[in-house]
Structure 1
């Protein structure tokens, strides 16, 4: 275990020492925040004001911001873990794998070092993003999340980090060069905003596209976060109108529908847990076979 921890520390130092890698791992979340701050939030607020004329602009803005930050936290759980796997690609391209193999380090220890470090980076960076999101909502929107809500969000965030980092590790195990990895990470950081329904509400998309997106684990993880983030802001905006609340929940992806089927939270949790264990096993096997 001492060897594994040493490898984890080494990989963590390499990630946090490369400031550009840290920045690009948060690029998707930063793009989403800038887009909403400058353009998209105003469009959502204006549309919701027409739908809910009795709600104040502050209540509507609080809902839009809580929905937005759920997407930002969701994106950070994917892109930061992916960014931490750059060390794996770099070690493979530079030939460091051969250096490790001539030392008294087993392949299994190397694999655990890469995977644990990547998950650790994802959790640490996502928690920082979550803390900044909570502060923004409290200071700007006067929407302070309760400690219990924050605890539930943190738990969902950790689960997303484990599941999506495991998936990223499996994909990255097929990437051989730093150039290919950089291109892949840049594309993923941008595209996932659409795939998770973070840039625009999923309800504004064609039915078949919305169904496809909601069937993916990214949208289901975002759904779990949105339920917690909007727990107070949504009722404050819609008031006593239950039908309106249901329509908003479906339109903004707070409830994920695959066709006519409402994806229960238990299914979404199960998918993330299955991803965490299944893809960890698959990626560990792939990385172990690659280290030679």
Structure 2
């Protein structure tokens, strides 16, 4: 399986266009925030000290979460190409087990997604330094990397399942465009969750990636929130955190970080199993 993973990684990084588009979401989200969204959100929180820096930290956390999705989509283009050229049939009829085939795709995608997300992390720190916002401490960086890995693993399994349903590159390209367009909304990046309809809010809270982003926001915003809300009632800060998707509530009960981690791990296992079932059915 290691040879298979190396083969997938070489194919991805050899395609400079695929690498570029994997990071394109970073620059799109950052550009939208700088040109349009940033000032709108900051103006909404004029009463909060350091609102600009607070929102900078908020968007940077979301940017990393989105990258872990878009990078995975780009990496799984190799699997779609293998299917469209019938190469995957050679793998399926080979002595290699189905779970190893799926594992090879998911692990190579996981590696790509992790690398691209860490690059996004570096970009986020550079932007925070430029905007004179609080940078992450060493311990916080370790925490962020761990959450990146968990979120990327969950996204890899989810995209693997979606990709296993397609056989043509055209269909995959269409699906990729749709996912790329919607991902910013269903993770509460373009609009805070409080501005979305109740039904859409439930979708956001049910989406595994959103839970990874929620934890990232807590880490990124911790220092700045302590400073910004130092002289403001704790209830207002709790309302802010709920409105901005820093924490999620279900039936007035907060979703803990432990629960969010279990959601990420559980979704990874679920989608991986579903992907094996799909390819096993096609093999028959």
TM range (shorter): over 0.9
CA distance in 2, matches of 1:102, 1:45: 57
Partner of 2:45, secondary structure, is helix
Query: Residue 17 of structure 2: which of 16, 20, 23 is its match?
Result: 20
CA drift at 1:264: 1.5
Q: Which moves more between the two structures, 168-177 or 100-109? A: 100-109
CA distance in 1, matches of 2:4, 2:210: 33
**After superposition, what is the alpha-carbon deviation per residue over 1:41-87, rounded to whole angstroms, capped at 9, x for unaligned?**
011112211x33xx2xxx22111111001110111111211211111
When residues 11 and 291 of structure 1 are mapped into structure 2, their CA distance, relative to the original with a 3 A threshold, is farther
1:147 aligns with 2:144: no
Query: Residue 209 of structure 1: which of 192, 200, 203 is its match?
Result: 200
The answer (yes or no) to whether the contact 1:71–1:222 under 8 Å persists in 2 is yes
CA distance in 1, matches of 2:91, 2:204: 41
- What does residue 262 of structure 1 align with? 254
CA drift at 1:208: 4.0
Partner of 2:52, secondary structure, is helix
1:43 aligns with 2:35: no
Q: Which moves more between the two structures, 259-268 or 34-43? A: 259-268
- What does residue 32 of structure 1 align with? 29
- What does residue 191 of structure 1 align with? 182
CA distance in 1, matches of 2:78, 2:147: 26
- What does residue 241 of structure 2 align with? 249
CA drift at 1:102: 6.9
1:85 aligns with 2:82: no
When residues 94 and 62 of structure 1 are mapped into structure 2, their CA distance, relative to the original with a 3 A threshold, is same
The answer (yes or no) to whether the contact 2:154–2:209 under 8 Å persists in 1 is no
CA drift at 1:99: 4.1
CA RMSD, Structure 1 to Structure 2 (Å) = 2.0
The answer (yes or no) to whether the contact 2:56–2:133 under 8 Å persists in 1 is no
CA drift at 1:90: 0.6
Q: Which moves more between the two structures, 238-247 or 36-45? A: 238-247
CA distance in 2, matches of 1:35, 1:60: 18
1:234 aligns with 2:225: yes
CA distance in 1, matches of 2:199, 2:97: 48
**Structure 2 residues not aligned, in runs of 5+:** none
The answer (yes or no) to whether the contact 2:154–2:208 under 8 Å persists in 1 is no
